[in-house]
Amino acid sequence: MDWRPSGHLLSTSDLVHAIFDVDSDAGKLLVKATMGEVELFAAPKSWNAILWLITNTLKADGAPIYSGSQLGELKSSLPIVWRAD
């Protein structure tokens, strides 16, 4: 269908790069998805890897700096369709 943007499936590695490295190819795709130029898809297990990375590396005084609800807001704000195939 001509009205839909082209779609791209992000691997877990691509998702990490998209979120944490805006200059990577995946990061550039994330920016394009924000503008509606492309559609991004990722597996829910890839989000679990992002959660692990954030909660285990971003800490203050040994505790994660983001709450579960903040991480949920982050997930819902990303222009990514989460689908298990």
Report yes or no on 52 lying in a domain.
yes
pLDDT at 2 over 80: no
Report yes or no on 59 lying in a domain.
yes
Report yes or no on 34 lying in a domain.
yes
Total domains in the chain come to 1
Domain encompassing residue 15: 6-82
pLDDT category of residue 3 using cuts at 50, 70 and 90: confident
Report yes or no on 1 lying in a domain.
no
Helix (H) or strand (E) holding 54: helix 44-57
φ/ψ of residue 31, rounded to 5: -65, -45
pLDDT category of residue 4 using cuts at 50, 70 and 90: confident
Report yes or no on 40 lying in a domain.
yes
Report yes or no on 63 lying in a domain.
yes
Report yes or no on 15 lying in a domain.
yes
pLDDT category of residue 5 using cuts at 50, 70 and 90: confident
Are 60 and 27 in contact by the 8 Å Cβ rule? The answer is no
Task: Give me the pLDDT at residue 84, please.
Answer: 81
Task: Give the tens place of pLDDT for each residue, 13-72.
Answer: 999 999 999 999 999 999 999 999 999 999 999 999 999 999 999 999 999 999 999 999
Report yes or no on 78 lying in a domain.
yes
